[in-house]
Every structure is written in structure tokens, then in C-alpha cells.
Structure 1
């Protein structure tokens, strides 16, 4: 079992350019990969997306690829004037749309031009493909390892809470026994207080007791709760993504607990159901971070 939280890093050298690859992941219901690359390397994004889909099934994956060029290696190439004009125009449009004062100056021009010079010094993306793929694979491997380690802690916590729910189900079974007999005595007591002398074996009394016993019988619900608890333990032992399976099992457990609470008039039963619900909710919070 893996967590959806992890981090990995790798780097490589290409033509005196040090390239670092960092990848982090957080929980998300489906798979979403966000890749940040230098502008001239955008064509390499597809390679990273393909590699990610091969090893990750859920979570938001953030890739950051950065290049560092030694100043001594940077060429003194001139900047692209047309591109500078385009960049300034895009900044103006954005500033107007956001209501931000826009006053371009020499400092802004220098920053844009420096960015162009830096990109001009980067290797051609076709020369980067293999190195980037290898670094991305190494970073993903490191991230997955942290997800596995975190997953072990999540698994232990979920198993412990699931065991607690099983204990509460056993207590529910004990507390549910004798409810019909108790209700029968209360019914006879109310009849006596109303000065209605009815025998305990009277057909009408027996019918009321039988109807009540049927309404408050929770034996089937308790059996299903035990079955769902066993299913959850089996899911935790599976290889591969199990997060959604856990969510389904938790939905079924919650449904059965609600039914038990609605059927039984016992305050002790309702107290035990509240405790089981609390454990179920804690497992649900953990399951949201399980791949």
C-alpha cells in the first residue's frame, strides 16, 4: 500500500549545463501531472507524462525541471527584439486585465533579455531526451519509495482502527441481547399502570413483543459489519492501488452502523455506534491519502 504523499530528486549534466529534476506528490482523487520546464524544452513534457502514468495511478504529481548554466559558459548572444516586444505586450495585456499599474523600465528589459540569453545557452531539447528520461525515472523511483514508507504507517494505523471497530461490533452484539425482553417488561409495566390486566402470554402482548423484536433485530447488520471489516484487512494486503476500495468498504460500514443506531432504542448501543463512527471517520481521513 502506498501513500499519495512523496518526494524525489535527481540531476544530470549535459553540455556543461546542470539539470535538476524534482518531483513531489500530494493526494488527489485521480492522476494529475503538472510539469514545469524551461520554455525551450516544452517538447519534453510528453516524455515525463508518459513515464509518470507508467508508475503512478492517483495523486497530483508536480515535476520541476531546472537548468543551471555556469556564467563562464554563457554566450554573449544578442536578444531577440521581436520576442522582447511580444513579451512586453503580453505583460501589458495581463496588467490591464488585473488592474495592475504597468510601467516598463530598463530593469524589466534587462531581466527579460537575461532570460533570453540563458535560454539561448541551453542545449537543444533533442540532446536532453535520454538524460531527462533517466533523471525523471530516478526521481520517480525515489518519490515512490517515500510513498511506500508512508504507506506502511497508514496501513498500521488503519489496521489498528479497524480492529477497534471489530471490538465495538462485538460489544454491540452483547448490548443488543435482551432488548426484546426488556421492552416486554416495560410494555407490561405500562399496561399495569393503565390498570389493564393482560397476561404476559396474551396473544396481543406476544404480537407486540414479536413485532418489536423484528424491528430492533440487528444480527444481520452485525454480520455484515464483521464481513466488511474482514474485507478491509484483505484490501490492505493487496498489491497495487487500494484507496478507492477502502473508500467503498468504509461507505458500507457507515451504512450498517447507521442502520444499527436507527433500529435500537438502547442508549448503550447508540453510544457504541458513535464510537465506531468516530473510528470509521478517522480511517476515512487516512484513506484519502492512500493511492
Structure 2
């Protein structure tokens, strides 16, 4: 079954010490890319573990991961006075007061409103438990993300299979049309020669053997048997890839390019309007399939 590259999933983990939430959004991308954002500095220590966990389940796409952690235990929080900065603020206060003859009545409130005087730091009380909680939240988010990607992948698969059936039917029509090409070319050539002779008033008899030879040459140049065989082979291979698990999108894109190449050759060789029209219709369906495959993992 196909997986879409787009989706969203969230997960959380809670205990008495900390709460962790994780959100993962996936978007289309040619390769695997994982961007981690967090407002909790301690989470940065586990960035590689988080990315490795995600990489185990997702092989292609751009992943935007946001993780938030809050600590419920007071032992996880420390507040430190930035003494050097406080001293600088105090010197500046007293300099202003002395310079302008103001009352040197500096209160605590004057400092508490200043930026970076007090530095708040969050420490991890139990590192192993914290890491397990993070990965639990990530696993839950990945599972829900996977459900959405599989659901959207099923819709992509249904649409692609429908269009493959359309292409297969039109290629069958092109193949059937090709059997009538030699006779049609012979008749067209005979008709042209007859009109030419009539227009010139010539009484020369038409050489049927010569016409047959020329028609055979033209028919050989317009023969698309090999292209049809290769197209059908690629189409069958494409269907087989759709049944595989994992990241198959790039392989499907490559096979699709080969199918497009074959139908372009068929169109360029086409000696009749019906084959030309059918070729255009196949190319149109292949383009729609290509747009869908760009969403496949």
C-alpha cells in the first residue's frame, strides 16, 4: 500500500515530574529531512535520538517536529542571580543618580524588572525517565501520523490505479489501430499517385508492386510494436511497485518517465489521427499520475 508524504500526528506523555507533548507535520520532499523545534533547552540533548526514532519509520519527506516539555517538580527548576550583570546595572543606577543629584534610594523592585538579572534553568531530575517519556510521545505522534499518511496514500493509490487502467485501455486501442496501418498507407499512397496522374493527364499505369514496396517502407517507419511492448512492461512494473511497502515514490517516478518516453515515441511515429489522439490522451493521464506520485513516499 502506498503512503502519502503529507500528514500530521500528535502525542503526549505525562507523569508526576514532567509533561511532554509532540507534534509532527510531514510535507512533500525528494529526500528525508527532519527539523526539530523546541522551547525547552534540555530537549536539545535528545535531538539525535528523536531523529533516529523518526528515521526508523519514515524514509522520505520533510518532517517538522515540535516538542514541548514542562516540569512539575520544583527540583527541576533553578534560579540564579547574574551577579556580574547586576553589578553593572547598579553602577549605572548610581552614576545616573549622582550625576543628576537624585536620591540614592535603589530598591529591589528596580532590579527585578531588568532583563536577565535572574536566570532560570531547567534541569532533568531523571535523565533516563525523561528520554523514555520523549520517545513515548514521539512514538504516539508517529503512529497517528502514519495513520493519516496511509489513509491519504489509499486515496492516491485508487486514483493512480484508475488512471493506469485508462492508459492500458488506450494502449490496447493503439495496438489494434496499428494492425490496420499497412493497408491504410497502401491505399493512401495509391490515391495520391492516382490524383497526381489525373492532374497531369498521364496515362501511365500504376505499378502496384512499387506502391506495396513504398507502403511497406512507410509502415516500418511508423511501426510502434516495440514501443507498445515496452510501455506495457513498464506499466506492469509500475503496478508491482505499488504493491510494495516502504518508500517507492522515487522508483515510481523513474518508471513513469520511461512510460512517458515510450508514448512520446508512439505519438511521433503516428501515421493517423486516431493514434495521435489516443497518444495525447495517454500523455494526459500520465501527467496526472505524475502529479499524484509526487505525493507518494
Contact 2:79 2:118 in 1 (8 A): no
Residue in structure 2 matching 1:254, options 247, 255, 260: 260
1:4 Cα deviation after fit: 0.8
Structure 2: give runs of 5+ residues left out of the alignment: 87-111
Would you say how many aligned residue pairs link Structure 1 and Structure 2?
264
Contact 1:21 1:136 in 2 (8 A): yes
- Pair 1:239–1:40, CA change in 2 (3 A): closer
- Pair 1:206–1:255, CA change in 2 (3 A): same
1:122 Cα deviation after fit: 5.5
Residue in structure 2 matching 1:289, options 282, 285, 295: 295
Cα deviation digits, residues 165-222 of structure 1 (max 9, x gap): 00111111223332222222222222222226343423x3232111101001112211
Partner SS for 1:36: strand
Partner SS for 2:66: strand
Contact 1:158 1:283 in 2 (8 A): yes
CA distance in 1, matches of 2:185, 2:167: 27
Structure 1: give runs of 5+ residues left out of the alignment: 85-108
So what's the TM-score if we normalise by structure 2?
Answer: 0.79
Compare 132-141 and 175-184 and name the one that shifted more: 175-184
Contact 1:14 1:123 in 2 (8 A): no
Larger Rg computed on CA atoms:
2
Look up the match of 1:101: none
- Pair 1:114–1:168, CA change in 2 (3 A): farther
So what's the TM-score if we normalise by structure 1?
Answer: 0.81
Contact 2:3 2:152 in 1 (8 A): yes
Instruction: Describe how 1:1-291 pairs up with structure 2 within 5 A.
Output: 1-13=2-14, 16-37=17-38, 38-68=40-70, 77-78=79-80, 80=82, 113=116, 117=120, 120-121=121-122, 123=124, 126=127, 128-195=130-197, 197-202=204-209, 204-291=210-297
Cα deviation digits, residues 7-63 of structure 1 (max 9, x gap): 111112355432211111111111001011223321110111111111111001111
Contact 2:76 2:124 in 1 (8 A): no
